Structure 1
Amino acid sequence: MLDQRYYIITIMALFISLTLGIFIGNALLGNDLVIVQQQEVIEQLRQNYYKLQEENRCLQEQFRIFQVWEETNRDLEELILSLLKERTKLRPRLIIFNTSGRELDADLTDFLRESGFAVSAICTIADCFTPEDEALQALVQGGREQGISDRKWQELVSYLAEALAGDRTTEFLQQLSDRRYITLTGSPAAGADVALLIGGAGEVERIDRLDKLLIGACQKEGVRVIVGARAGSGSILEAYRGHGVSTIGHLDTSAGRLSLFYLLSSGQEGHFGPDQKTSLLLPHQWLREQVEGG
């Protein structure tokens, strides 16, 4: 339920203000005028209290509606997924890059596992993984105190993509992990058919310097790339389009996860999400075909 402390603190502040007002009024004004003003203030406090109570009740009701909506969405998602899984033959192996600056949503990994898609490795890249980081410069340059050139930075990001795709040795990945530039789970050596890049939350400069280099390196290795982001990141996702990738701008919702299922299971490309450039929240035509085919 909603936190009641806000309302308690508000009421306490109002009564403290009333006390101070009474004290000052007694010192400056006559008793009759003070009494009238006190009554006016008390009535105003009473009205404010009733208003806060009503706002609290409305917020609690909205929260209950939201809970019911979320539970219903999850039930529908599980039902639709159970029907679609039976007809899905394409099962690409995934690697996940997380550059969003947030922890990876457990709902997403659970969804992929329940859908039958194997995830070889998950690599969360820390915000400090930049060419300006002095400790990273020393690690890349073998202890020499000099900056990372653009060419060297491209090689480093390419190595990251290639190592997770299973085409390079992983010793340096472990060094990056030990110094907390990346958090790595899974087995990169298993290889991958699709790279899911969870981005869209950073600045455009970071997208240009990291995400797009990861995309290019994966594509060079023959790994298809899908870019996903949380709802509300649609404008940022425009920075990825035109680079041969599919995008999903609401990956934290049931509609977004079902769109991901479509992209993975059909091998088709597309853009989904609630933004101006993408009007589709779901692959409606494909879903209709699945229903009619059943």
Structure 2
Amino acid sequence: MLNLKYHIVSLVAVFCALGIGIFVGSNLVGNDFFVDQQKQLVTKLEEEFNFLREQNKLTQDELAVFKDTTDDYRLFCEQVFPLIIADKLNQKTFAVIELAPTGINEKVIKTLNEAGAEVAYLAVIDWEVEPDWDLLVSPEEKEPLSKKERFTRLSQEITGLLISGQDTSTLQELRKSGFLTIEGSPGRKVDGVVVLEGSDEDRSEVFNNFDLAVTNAYTDKGIKVVVGECQDVLYSTLDAFKLRPVTTIDNIDSTIGLTSLVFSLQGQQGNYGTGNTADRLIPEVNAN
């Protein structure tokens, strides 16, 4: 489409140049043969321009057909999706942790419930709220904490609550400030955890020092971790997970990605989606 557009613009520029050329040539030379040649060339260019205009119309018509077909497939997937995932995660319990502002935790929880699973708890970290780092310093410590140590202690506090149910006054203050939001019953045993990642801002410092520590706390205990991102994020983190014992999904906000989520939580591990980090579109789908 862009090439066709530029071609048409180029033709318009040639028309303008030819018009100037005819005007100048006829005044300077006064040669009928020269003028006839110019007119023939203009006629050919007009024919090519009309051809390209017709091609552009045909292309627009084809795009409209493709859009209608795509909408049909999308509607089909949405209607068949509940049948595909029904009862696939019966008697399973999972946790959902939103480490970056994806805004899709409700969609993920709804999918898990439709697949027959129970969600033990949802934890949301909001970095728009600055945590009170002084809460992490013990009274006997006189030296300020390094950034790395801050993130380490923060991740240990939060995973201690989520995995083991160890609540502290520090965590209570973090919840009161809005930095940490928890729904459900943290500390319950879970069969797996869904970690929601990806952002439109560069948050590499938080990711490297905090997010990875949170996911490691689960994998170190042998708990299955599935990390998901929306397909249009500007800053993806999934490359960092490919060499770790976790499953990644780069389109978890789509019906295809949610299908991958359900079958991944059944036990399959891999890197799924449509982006550069994916090895295949979805896991193997079984009928059981």
TM-score, normalising length from structure 2? Answer: 0.66
SS in 1 for 2:182: strand
1:196-239 superposed Cα distances (whole Å, 9 cap, x missing partner): 11002253332212211111122233322111111135953112
Aligned to 2:117: 117
Whether the aligned pair in 1 keeps the contact of 2:123 and 2:180 (CA below 8 Å) is yes
Aligned to 2:77: 73
Q: Which has the higher Rg, Structure 1 or Structure 2?
A: 2
Task: Give the Cα separation in 2 of the matches to 1:170 and 1:96.
Answer: 21
Task: Give the Cα separation in 2 of the matches to 1:153 and 1:277.
Answer: 27
- Could you say if the C-alpha distance between residues 193 and 175 of structure 1 is closer, same or farther in structure 2, counting changes exceeding 3 Å? farther
- Could you say if the C-alpha distance between residues 277 and 110 of structure 1 is closer, same or farther in structure 2, counting changes exceeding 3 Å? closer
* CA-based RMSD: 3.2
1:10-50 superposed Cα distances (whole Å, 9 cap, x missing partner): xxxxxxxxxxxxxxxxxxxxxxxxxxxxxxxxxxxxxxxxx
Aligned to 1:96: 96
Equivalent pairs, count = 224
Letter in 1 for 2:192: V
1:146 shift after superposition: 6.8
- Could you say if the C-alpha distance between residues 146 and 178 of structure 1 is closer, same or farther in structure 2, counting changes exceeding 3 Å? farther
1:48-89 superposed Cα distances (whole Å, 9 cap, x missing partner): xxxxxx9xx99999987765544322102122223xx2xx47
Letter in 2 for 1:120: A
Letter in 2 for 1:140: L
Is the deviation greater in 106-115 or in 148-157? 148-157
Aligned to 2:126: 126
Whether the aligned pair in 2 keeps the contact of 1:246 and 1:269 (CA below 8 Å) is yes
Aligned with residue 148 of structure 1, among 140, 145, 151: 145
1:264 shift after superposition: 1.1
- Could you say if the C-alpha distance between residues 218 and 276 of structure 1 is closer, same or farther in structure 2, counting changes exceeding 3 Å? same
Task: Give the Cα separation in 1 of the matches to 2:222 and 2:89.
Answer: 21
1:118-161 superposed Cα distances (whole Å, 9 cap, x missing partner): 111111101246xxx4x512222369997433334312202212
Aligned to 1:164: 162
Q: Answer yes or no: is 1:247 the counterpart of 2:248.
A: yes
Whether the aligned pair in 2 keeps the contact of 1:164 and 1:191 (CA below 8 Å) is no
Whether the aligned pair in 2 keeps the contact of 1:248 and 1:259 (CA below 8 Å) is yes
Task: Give the Cα separation in 2 of the matches to 1:104 and 1:148.
Answer: 34
Aligned with residue 136 of structure 1, among 132, 135, 138: 132
Aligned to 1:191: 189
Letter in 1 for 2:84: I
Question: Any residues of structure 2 matched to 1:213-228 within 5 Å, and which?
Answer: 213-228=213-228
Q: Answer yes or no: is 1:282 the counterpart of 2:282.
A: yes
TM-score, normalising length from structure 1? Answer: 0.65
Letter in 2 for 1:260: L
Letter in 2 for 1:79: L
1:94 shift after superposition: 1.3
SS in 1 for 2:241: coil
- Could you say if the C-alpha distance between residues 237 and 206 of structure 1 is closer, same or farther in structure 2, counting changes exceeding 3 Å? same
Whether the aligned pair in 2 keeps the contact of 1:255 and 1:282 (CA below 8 Å) is yes
Whether the aligned pair in 2 keeps the contact of 1:91 and 1:264 (CA below 8 Å) is no
Unaligned runs of 5+ in 2: 1-56
Percent identity over the alignment?
21
